[in-house]
Amino acid sequence: NKVIKLVSRPKEMPTLDNFSIEEAQIPSPAQGEVLLRTLYISVDPYMRGRMNDAKSYAPPFALNEAIAGGVISEVVESYAEGFQKGDVVLGNSTWTLYSVAKPERLTVIDPNIAPITTALGVLGMPGLTAYFGLLDIGQPKEGETVVVSGAAGAVGMIVGQIAKIKGARVVGIAGSDEKNEYLIKELGFDAAINYKTTADLHAELAQACPDGIDVYFDNVGGAISDAALSLINKNARIPICGQIALYNLGKADVGNRIQSVLLVNTALMQGFLVGQYAARFPEAVSQLAQWLQQKKLKYAENIVDGFEQTPHAFIGLFTGDNLGKQLVKVAEP
C-alpha cells in the first residue's frame, strides 16, 4: 500500500515539498466494512483551505496524516451488507492505494448511466455545485446575460451550459485561448475572455455584455470579480461559489468596496456550499444525467495517470493545467 500525507502547510502556492508519499500496510476490514482499491482520485480547490491551520467549514487536514477527499474505488473484499466484490463506489477516502470504509459513507456507481468518472465531475460534487448555485441563487432567465469565472473548470463549464439551456447569453472568463475556444466551439458559450492576456478586462467584458450582467457566477474572486461586478444590472444575482484567486495569497486581499454597487442595483450576492443542498441531490443528478443523455450537456476531464502524480495534479489547479474536472487515474476497474 501507499499513502500521500500532508507534511507541511503551504504558505502561499502549494509545492511538492508539502506532501510525502510513503509505504503503508494494506488495512484489514472489520465485520461490516469493505476493503477498497482506489481507481480515481479527485483533486479539488477546497482542499487548499483544509491545508491551512485555520477554522473553516471543513476542519484542517492533520499534519503527517493521509489527505482525504472524493475517491472512486472498487470493492475488493466485502464484509458489509449491500456491497459485492467488484462494485465501483464513490466515497470520501484517503489518498491511498487501499483503504477500508463503512458502507454508509459509500454509494455504488452505476456504470450504465455514464462513465464512472462522472461521479466525481458532472454527476458529482462539481456538477451539483453548478446546478444549485446557478439555478437556486442565480436563477437565470431567458435572454439574460450570465457571466461565469473559472469558466473552463469542472464547475464553470457546467454553469455556462445550464445557463444556455435556460436561454441566457453566456460569457465565460478563463485563463487560456485553448480553453476559451473550447467553451465557444464545443460548449456553445456566446463569448469567452482570456483574463491572462487581456489588456483591459473591464472593457472586454463590457463589450461582450452589451446589455450588462444579470447573473455573475463567481468561482475566482479578486480582480476578475471586481470587473464583473462593475457591470451588473438592476436585480442582478451573484452566487459566490469559490474564490480560488485568493486561496494562495499570504495576506488579505484588498479590492473594490462593492456594497454600493449592490445597493444601487438592488442586487443579491450569496455564498453557498453545495452540501446545503444534500436533500435535493437525487433530483439534480437525474436532471444532469438527462441533459447528458440528450447531449445538451457536455463535460471535459483532465486525467493524469499514476497515484504519485496526485500532489502535482492538485497544484495544477492553481496554474490552470486543467480543462474540466481534474482527476488522477490510479488503476483500471
Q: What is the contact surface with ligand NDP in residues (CB under 6 A)? A: 44-46, 125-126, 129, 150, 152-156, 174-176, 179, 219-220, 224, 241-242, 244-245, 272-274, 317-318, 320, 322, 326
Write down the least CB distance from residue 93 to ligand NDP, Å: 18
Write down the least CB distance from residue 47 to ligand NDP, Å: 9
* CA-based nearest residue to 66, from 125, 115, 2: 2
What is the rounded CA–CA span in Å between residue 313 and residue 294?
31
Write down the least CB distance from residue 7 to ligand NDP, Å: 23
Neighbours of 270 (CB within 10 A): 12
Residue 260 or 319 having the CB closest to ligand NDP = 319
Q: For residue 222, give Cα distances in angstroms to 3, 67, 195, 229.
A: 35, 28, 12, 11
Residue 281 or 318 having the CB closest to ligand NDP = 318
Write down the least CB distance from residue 137 to ligand NDP, Å: 11
Residue 99 or 129 having the CB closest to ligand NDP = 129
Q: For residue 206, give Cα distances in angstroms to 58, 140, 148, 220.
A: 37, 19, 14, 19
Write down the least CB distance from residue 133 to ligand NDP, Å: 7
Strands 2-6 and 65-66: antiparallel
Residue 212 or 320 having the CB closest to ligand NDP = 320
Work out the angle at residue 116's Cα, subtended by the Cα atoms of residues 110 and 117, and round it to the nearest 5 degrees: 150
DSSP SS3 for 156: helix
Please tell me what DSSP assigns to residue 192: E
What is the rounded CA–CA span in Å between residue 48 and residue 247?
7
Strands 88-94 and 98-101: unpaired
Write down the least CB distance from residue 23 to ligand NDP, Å: 30
Write down the least CB distance from residue 82 to ligand NDP, Å: 28
Grid cell in block for residue 278 = 444534500
Residue 62 or 273 having the CB closest to ligand NDP = 273
Residue 86 or 115 having the CB closest to ligand NDP = 115
> Within 13 Å, how many C-alpha atoms sit on residue 14's CB side?
28
Grid cell in block for residue 318 = 492553481
Residue 24 or 246 having the CB closest to ligand NDP = 246
